[in-house]
Structure 1
Amino acid sequence: MADNTPQNSIPENKEEHSSSTYLAIAFRSLRMLVYRTLRIQDNADPSDTIESIKVDIDFKGYNVWILIFSILIASIGLNVNSGAVVIGAMLISPLMGPILGVGLSLGINDWSTMKRSLQNFAVMFTVSIITSTVYFLLTPLVDAQSELLARTRPTLLDVIVAFIGGLAGILAANRKIKNNVVPGVAIATALMPPLCTAGYGIATGQWAFFFGAFYLFLINSIFISLATFLTVRFLAFPVKDFVDPERAKRARRYVFAVLLLIIVPSGFTFYQVVSESYLTRRVDQFVQENIFYDGAELVKKDFINNEDETHSLNLVFFGENIPLKVVDSWRQKLGNYNLENIEIKVVQPQSMEEMNSTEVNKLVDVFSKSQIELQTKEQTITQLRLALNQEMNLRLPIDQLMAELKVNHPRLYTIGMARMIELNEGGKDTLITTNLYWSLQDTLGLKPESEQIREWLKVRLNLDTVVLYNHIRLPKEEVNKPKALGRVN
């Protein structure tokens, strides 16, 4: 019986099987490489990490004084609007200890560490608020600078940075070989500036500053603790056991309650911040694409996000008064950006005294840019005027010349003039070429009359050389077009 199986089917199957095997081996090798690169359990030291975090929880003695000095330095930096000074203060601040302690105690079910962390967190907050409040009560500089204003309301980036910073902080603390990541986390999450801003709000009686800054500090702390808790659970830190089952159950309830107090506000805050960020982005897009008016400059934009969902967009202009119909046209465009519940208010100060320092500085910048643009335009206009004058000077007054020539030379029918560049061995010469069209039957006396016209043109146009060409325009019964007589030398 003949074998009908193709001879090349077995090699093809072997080749396909070899290719799939190689791909599987390559994928497995890549997966192992990624696993070994990202694995952190091998370099973890849970016991040492727990002890090091517990040591930094307590605020007493040196830690309190370091906190006071760092708060004073940060307050000065915020007061004089110096970011470098604020960063220097955050480098020496011991704020991270109790916050990491809260997340750690949640992760290992250690209620005693939880209580100690919360107590020291309260001590840290109280000392910071008192120190910053006393400083801002005594300082003669009371204006709210941009560094202070930036710490009055949390944004989506603040939440994300706090969470990622908490992850970095606990991972750095968990390494067998310690490094200086924790101070960097304190800088990135900006824990200290909100505390100083809260003190400024109390000292100046601006409670919106206090509550906004306190809320920002609390949100940063909560998300750092949440990141610490998740990391501790992921790395399987040893959970504390209780001999007494009732005590263990009670401790777990307490830990669970605190965990809910952290997670629920965190989720609500994240949703709220994301919604506000999206709304603010739409408002910025609306202002950028629609808010402009010739003769007036937008120097300030304030978007007030009210809790009752009736928001305000305050626009401060300097310059000409904006007509009401223009503002109404802006309001009609709000629906295109899903901003129907926003009320536009246009403010136009009539003097510099009605504007604050930030608005005045922006107005000065706008004025400086306008002056530069004006100077550039004036230079361009001057150049164009010079070019136009040169062109006007080169233009021949042929209509006026023809009128004057007709008076003294009635046989002259019309003239044609043009500037001509003549190349010779010495270079280039600019000549005036003139065509004289005569209406006559003979050329008697034409040459001296043409010479007289040439001399007159030289004087009239202030020229050295004038080239003349005579043309005879005969009567229609003799010829239908002029007869050229040639150049008059």
Structure 2
Amino acid sequence: MSALLRRALNNVTGEWKLNLDNRVPPKELYAARIASSKPSLGFFVLLICSAEIATLGLISNSTAVVIGAMIVAPLMDPILSLAFGLSIADNRLVKRSAITVVIGVATVVFTSWLLAMVLGASEVNREMTARTAPNLIDLMIAVAAAIAGSFTITRDKLSNSIAGVAIAVALVPPLCVSGIGLSLGPELVAVFGRGTVAGLTNQVAEGSFLLFLANLIGITVASLVVFMVQRYGSIQKAWRHLLVWLGLLGLLCIPLSSALHDFSVRQQINSRFTNFKAGLIQESLYSGLNLNSLRRIRMLYSNVRVVNNRATIEVVLNVPTKLVGKIELTEFQREFRRDAIKDYGLDEVEINISVIPTQILRYDPAASTIP
């Protein structure tokens, strides 16, 4: 009876069965990690090229170019060697890998700083600012990517997935943003959409380097656990290293948790701008303005920054010339500020609304004359 059921099941499933890939032998993996812990000429060539590509992509605000730099970057290898050395308690491998990582970090930051100085970079765009406010979401991405990366190098058949891991966890782009930030000085100009915000305190270098640290610590801890679970190391040998890195992870979670709250508030405030024009029109109707004229108001862009529970909102409006000075912005600002503080528990909300007047000129061929 069991044979009949097994035969019937095989006919239905096409003899499907779970294929457990063989592990890479410990000696083979150890030799590969030793080779990856030693910086070579190829390592520095790829690292400098990836730093150059990422820096140019960041300055030109090109996402595709930045992604290309992630694929080229070889910085993931020595970090995985560091985690493997921790799992087997090989202090020599740990030290060698750590030095390679530090030298690689310094190389990327210096390359991006030098390139930004040569090109005269003076503005911060969205590709850069996206990497200056890390939170717990970024740490979770790093952990998931590390699990995939460390598991991949222990299975021969999964080696093709390492490029996807390199894209998922960005190591070089945050370091390049740090280098660019160092070249900008204490004051900078941030570009958002069609507008600019000047006079910002330069937190670009610090924020982006914190993102790199989140990736580094997340990758190391997760990979260390994966290696031990697969019996490449033992908890008896590596428990001290594991405790130290878990402590670093816990300390890192403190600022990242605060940043996650700020990120959540920023997303909620951004969603309220979908009704921005409706609220503006409702306030302005009391002034007896024409509804058709009010509908010509366009919000070119909005940007919300939340730092230490304080929100700064930048809005740029495109308003017909005849409505400039007539629309009620003061009352709207006051109500929006009061509601934001009440709903999101913010300490302070600053709203800056810039108005760009527009005038439509109609060309009349009949009125034109040819000299």
Name the residue aligned to 1:265: 251
Task: Please give the alpha-carbon distance, in whole angstroms, between the structure 2 residues aligned to 1:158 and 1:266.
Answer: 12
Asked if structure 1 preserves the Cα contact closer than 8 Å seen for 2:70 and 2:172, the reply is: yes
Asked if structure 2 preserves the Cα contact closer than 8 Å seen for 1:317 and 1:346, the reply is: no
Matched, 1:61 2:41: yes
Name the residue aligned to 1:302: 303
Q: For the structure 1 residues 103 and 52, does the alpha-carbon distance in structure 2 shift closer, same or farther, using more than 3 Å as the test?
A: same
Q: What CA deviation, in whole Å up to 9, does each residue of 1:14-62 have, x standing for no partner?
A: xxxxxxxxxxx9xxx9xxxxxx74x85x522251333323321222422
Asked if structure 1 preserves the Cα contact closer than 8 Å seen for 2:110 and 2:179, the reply is: yes
Asked if structure 1 preserves the Cα contact closer than 8 Å seen for 2:263 and 2:306, the reply is: no
Q: What CA deviation, in whole Å up to 9, does each residue of 1:356-383 have, x standing for no partner?
A: xxxxxxx9xxx9xx99xxxxxxxxxxxx
Task: State the Cα distance separating 1:330 from its structure 2 match.
Answer: 2.2
Q: What CA deviation, in whole Å up to 9, does each residue of 1:141-190 have, x standing for no partner?
A: 54333322322222454323211111111111010335232222111212
Task: Please give the alpha-carbon distance, in whole angstroms, between the structure 2 residues aligned to 1:160 and 1:181.
Answer: 19
Q: Indicate the SS of the match to 1:168.
A: helix
Asked if structure 1 preserves the Cα contact closer than 8 Å seen for 2:310 and 2:346, the reply is: no
Q: Bigger shift: 319-328 or 332-341?
A: 332-341
For 1:201, give the aligned amino acid.
Answer: G
Matching residue within 215, 223, 227 for 1:232: 227
Name the residue aligned to 2:333: 327
Task: Please give the alpha-carbon distance, in whole angstroms, between the structure 2 residues aligned to 1:209 and 1:72.
Answer: 18
Task: State the Cα distance separating 1:68 from its structure 2 match.
Answer: 1.1
Task: Please give the alpha-carbon distance, in whole angstroms, between the structure 1 residues aligned to 2:85 and 2:275.
Answer: 51
Matching residue within 265, 275, 280 for 1:293: 280
Q: Indicate the SS of the match to 2:124.
A: coil
Q: For the structure 1 residues 258 and 119, does the alpha-carbon distance in structure 2 shift closer, same or farther, using more than 3 Å as the test?
A: farther
Matched, 1:217 2:209: no
Task: State the Cα distance separating 1:111 from its structure 2 match.
Answer: 2.2
Name the residue aligned to 1:126: 106
Q: For the structure 1 residues 328 and 144, does the alpha-carbon distance in structure 2 shift closer, same or farther, using more than 3 Å as the test?
A: closer
Q: For the structure 1 residues 336 and 114, does the alpha-carbon distance in structure 2 shift closer, same or farther, using more than 3 Å as the test?
A: same
Q: Indicate the SS of the match to 2:157.
A: coil
Task: Please give the alpha-carbon distance, in whole angstroms, between the structure 1 residues aligned to 2:99 and 2:61.
Answer: 32
Name the residue aligned to 1:117: 97
Pairs within 5 Å for 1:20-419: 37=18, 43-47=22-26, 48-140=28-120, 142-177=122-157, 179-206=159-186, 207-239=202-234, 253=240, 255-256=241-242, 258-289=244-275, 292-294=279-281, 295=294, 296-307=297-308, 309-319=309-319, 320-321=324-325, 322-334=328-340, 337-349=343-355
For 1:314, give the aligned amino acid.
Answer: E
Task: State the Cα distance separating 1:122 from its structure 2 match.
Answer: 0.7
- Counting aligned pairs with the same residue, the percent is 24
Task: State the Cα distance separating 1:194 from its structure 2 match.
Answer: 0.9
Q: For the structure 1 residues 336 and 310, does the alpha-carbon distance in structure 2 shift closer, same or farther, using more than 3 Å as the test?
A: closer
**Alignment root-mean-square deviation, CA:** 3.5
| Count of residue correspondences | 317
For 1:280, give the aligned amino acid.
Answer: R
Q: For the structure 1 residues 328 and 143, does the alpha-carbon distance in structure 2 shift closer, same or farther, using more than 3 Å as the test?
A: closer
For 1:102, give the aligned amino acid.
Answer: L
Task: Please give the alpha-carbon distance, in whole angstroms, between the structure 2 residues aligned to 1:178 and 1:272.
Answer: 37
Task: Please give the alpha-carbon distance, in whole angstroms, between the structure 1 residues aligned to 2:181 and 2:54.
Answer: 15
Task: Please give the alpha-carbon distance, in whole angstroms, between the structure 2 residues aligned to 1:84 and 1:338.
Answer: 35
Larger Rg: 1
Q: Where in structure 2 are there 5+ consecutive unaligned residues? A: 1-5, 11-16, 187-201, 282-293, 362-371
Name the residue aligned to 1:406: none
Q: Indicate the SS of the match to 2:313.
A: strand
Name the residue aligned to 2:191: none
For 1:124, give the aligned amino acid.
Answer: G
Task: Please give the alpha-carbon distance, in whole angstroms, between the structure 2 residues aligned to 1:182 and 1:237.
Answer: 20
Task: Please give the alpha-carbon distance, in whole angstroms, between the structure 2 residues aligned to 1:145 and 1:312.
Answer: 17
Q: For the structure 1 residues 79 and 326, does the alpha-carbon distance in structure 2 shift closer, same or farther, using more than 3 Å as the test?
A: closer
Asked if structure 2 preserves the Cα contact closer than 8 Å seen for 1:95 and 1:186, the reply is: no
Asked if structure 2 preserves the Cα contact closer than 8 Å seen for 1:153 and 1:213, the reply is: yes
Task: Please give the alpha-carbon distance, in whole angstroms, between the structure 2 residues aligned to 1:232 and 1:281.
Answer: 37
Task: Please give the alpha-carbon distance, in whole angstroms, between the structure 1 residues aligned to 2:124 and 2:52.
Answer: 16
Q: For the structure 1 residues 143 and 175, does the alpha-carbon distance in structure 2 shift closer, same or farther, using more than 3 Å as the test?
A: same
Task: State the Cα distance separating 1:338 from its structure 2 match.
Answer: 3.0
Q: Indicate the SS of the match to 1:76.
A: helix
Q: What CA deviation, in whole Å up to 9, does each residue of 1:235-288 have, x standing for no partner?
A: 1214499xxxxxx7xx864x2463234321343355334323322232223333
Q: For the structure 1 residues 211 and 335, does the alpha-carbon distance in structure 2 shift closer, same or farther, using more than 3 Å as the test?
A: closer
Asked if structure 1 preserves the Cα contact closer than 8 Å seen for 2:317 and 2:356, the reply is: no
Asked if structure 2 preserves the Cα contact closer than 8 Å seen for 1:156 and 1:277, the reply is: no
Q: Indicate the SS of the match to 2:78.
A: helix
